[in-house]
Amino acid sequence: MASLIGFYSLIFGLCVSFLIIFFSIKNFKNSHIFDKKIISFTFLQFFFVIVSFLGLILSFVHSDFSNQTVFNHSHTTKPLFYKISGTWGNHEGSLLLWLLVLTLFIFLFLLKSKNQSKKYRILTLLFQQIIIIGFFIFVIKTSNPFNYIFPVPKEGLGLNPILQDPALAIHPPILYLGYVGTSIIFSSTLAATSLNYISKEWAKHIKQWILISWIFLTLGILLGSIWAYYELGWGGFWFWDPVENVSLMPWLALTSLLHCILVLEKRLVLTSWVVVLSISTFTLSMCGTFLVRSGILNSVHTFANDPERGLFILIFLFCLVFLSLFIFFFFHKTQNKDSNSFFWLSKETSILINNWFMIYFLSVVLIGTTYPIFLEVISSEKISVGPPFYNKLIIPFLIPFLLAMAIGPKLNWIKSDLKKKFYLILFLIISLLLSVIIIKSLNINFLVNTILVTSAFYLFFITLRDFFIKGFKNLSQNLTHFGFSLLILSILFNNIFSTEIITNLKIGETFKTDKYKIIFENIEQKDEQNFKAIIGKFNIENSDGKTEILKPELRIYNQPTIVTSEADIKTNFLVDKFITMNLVQNQDYFNIRYQIKPFMLWIWFSVLLISFGGLISLFKKKYEV
């Protein structure tokens, strides 16, 4: 029943789209007042998608296995929480979530943009409706979440256990708010371009939307990263996995867009940049969806491989890109006045430099992600691009990037000089000395690490100084830059100081190195509702005699039958101790991995700081300089 309502809501939602388009065009041509009917219809559409989404959730909660999506991804023994989160833990449901966010954002946009011109609002709505219709057809035609199966199965196939996790339950909605939220930036930029509406006021208005997407995207990536850290048992936070990359690419584009829009807001320059970046941000989001949903990239996000789906998104993507390029080339007018030029040493230049670096990072990630696909198509050779590629190409460029991040905000608009800014050099010397002291005591590549740590410390101290001197002025920008320096520092020290021990042990055996002693004491079994657990007990002895007990688990899920290993992590302020165990079939040995990862907590914390900075900027518009 719930499925039926859900399905018809979808159809109705699509129909409302055509009504909206009809009334919008009528309103666009005729009257001067914005037609209130349009808002009501937009709400109606949003409402239908919500009903449809609730219908799917209800089917999941009731374990209605006549619904194919529920049958494929749920099971009666699954806890209620994961029944609900299972709704978006699959291809069909997650696309419904796409649609939900698309309609939610356009509805909010119409409510929030009352001060903007009527034509601009309507045109934005029209562009957004094109995307919405595309996705409606996509959902209904190729990935209907409400397919009926008969005879009705008694039991479902269950949700992949690695998705049965609290962080992963909220990861998709948060990520989507950012990822799909970029659609509204795309639509409104296209609308503003075609109406030649781009102005300082427009920049101020669109900045809010960019910030919202950016905050959610940052948090979504953070959640995914935390999940991968403890659930996949690889013991890292970023693997340059294609699926991570497709979320990073829109983030990079969005971040540079955020910086550009600040310039646009103050100085009305870089308009072309803003348009190009808005278009590419959403295009990258769509590309990401295409890559993970078409089955070209294989990962936990690839739910089901269906070439038809991939083809649909690809065609739709090309249409959108073509449309936006058309608008950009034929409607976009550059304001090339002399008053808009700026001196080489100015805030504008530093933001442009920042942008160039961002675009460079973006292209590195893009090439690394897509090159294997192209190569396989062209020469049928199978390759993979691993972390060394990214490390080599990104890390060296982080140095000037960090320095520019520290110095840039110190410059003035239009023209600036560095007189009375001796402290900039002073801080550089302090950072250099500090890094030399730290790195020298370690047995690692001196030059590269020192320069890297120096530039990160530099940004760290400069932003720290600003907290004391400027107080709440520019707090958001300062906070995010501070957070970024903290992130880079934590990552660097995490890399430098991490150690790991990998060994195979039988129960009761002990493994000794000069620093640690790992005693595998025993295992016990435990039965839970949806899995059986084998819990190992490990006693880890430090060289100074301190012992710690860690209990990693092996879980054997009943539906579907999958073994996963649950890491046991002892976290404190400075260091994470991380242990996983694995069982190899028909062997007495357990495969043990013990890792000591410093500053993990700080990595998560600094990303939180970064998004918190964005949040402040969203709520505190007045004090911006």
Partner 1 sequence: MYGRKVKLRFFFIILILLTLILSTFLILRSLEENVVYFQSPSEIKVISEINKKKIRIGGMVKVDSISMATKEIKFIITDFKNEINVIYSGVVPNLFTEGKGVVAEGYLKDKNFFLATKILAKHDENYMPPEVKAALEEK
Q: Residue 121 or residue 309: which is nearer to partner 1 going by CB?
A: 309
* CA–CA dist 316, 212 (Å, integer): 25
Beta strands in 181-334 (DSSP E): none
Q: Please give the Cα distance from 19 to 8 (Å, whole number).
A: 17
Nearer CB in complex with partner 1: 46/303: 303
Neighbours of 548 (CB within 10 A): 12
CB 485 within 8 A of CB 575: no
Q: Judge whether 71 and 149 are in contact, CB under 8 Å.
A: yes
Distance CA 477, CA 608 (A): 14
- Please give the radius of gyration of the chain, using alpha carbons only, rounded to the nearest integer: 26
Q: 81-91 b/e with 16+ CB inside 10 Å = b? A: ebbbbbbbbbb
Nearer to partner 1, 507 or 584 (CB): 584
Q: Which is nearer to partner 1, 493 or 557 (CB)?
A: 557
Compare residues 160 and 617 and give the one whose CB is closer to partner 1. Answer: 160
Q: CA-to-CA distance for 285 and 248, rounded, in angstroms?
A: 10
Q: Shortest Cβ distance from residue 356 to partner 1 (Å)?
A: 7
Kindly tell me which of 53 and 88 has the beta carbon lying closer to partner 1: 88
Overall size of the chain counted in residues: 625
Residues found near partner 1 in the complex (CB under 8 A): 160, 162, 233, 297-300, 302-304, 356, 360, 363-364, 367-368, 371-372, 381-386, 388-389, 392-393, 502-505, 509, 511, 554, 560, 562-565, 580, 582, 584-589, 591, 593
Q: How far is CA 272 from the centre of its chain?
A: 25
The secondary structure of residue 145, as a DSSP letter, is: T
3-state secondary structure of 413: coil
Q: How far is the CB of 105 from partner 1 (least distance, A)?
A: 31
CB of 505 to partner 1, least distance (A): 7
Report how far residue 268's alpha carbon sits from residue 537's, in angstroms, rounded to the nearest whole number: 63
- Output 512 or 620, the one with its CB closest to partner 1: 512
> CB of residue 306 vs partner 1: minimum separation in angstroms?
13
Distance CA 125, CA 111 (A): 12
Minimal distance, residue 296 CB to partner 1, in Å: 9
Listed residue (77, 78, 298) closest to 169, CA to CA: 78
- Which of residues 479 and 505 has its CB atom nearest to partner 1 in the complex? 505
CA-nearest of 206, 213, 295 to 253 is 213
Distance CA 44, CA 130 (A): 17
- Asked if 231 and 261 touch (Cβ cutoff 8 Å), the reply is no
215 touches 617 (CB < 8 A): no
Cβ of residue 388: shortest distance to partner 1, in angstroms?
A: 5
Q: How far is the CB of 447 from partner 1 (least distance, A)?
A: 19
State in angstroms the smallest separation of the CB of 108 from partner 1. Answer: 35
Nearer to partner 1, 331 or 589 (CB): 589
Least spacing, CB of residue 494 vs partner 1, in Å? 19
Measured in degrees and rounded to the nearest 5, phi and psi for residue 381 equal -85, 140
Residue placing its CB nearer to partner 1 in the complex, 225 or 369: 369
> Are the beta carbons of 578 and 236 closer than 8 angstroms?
no
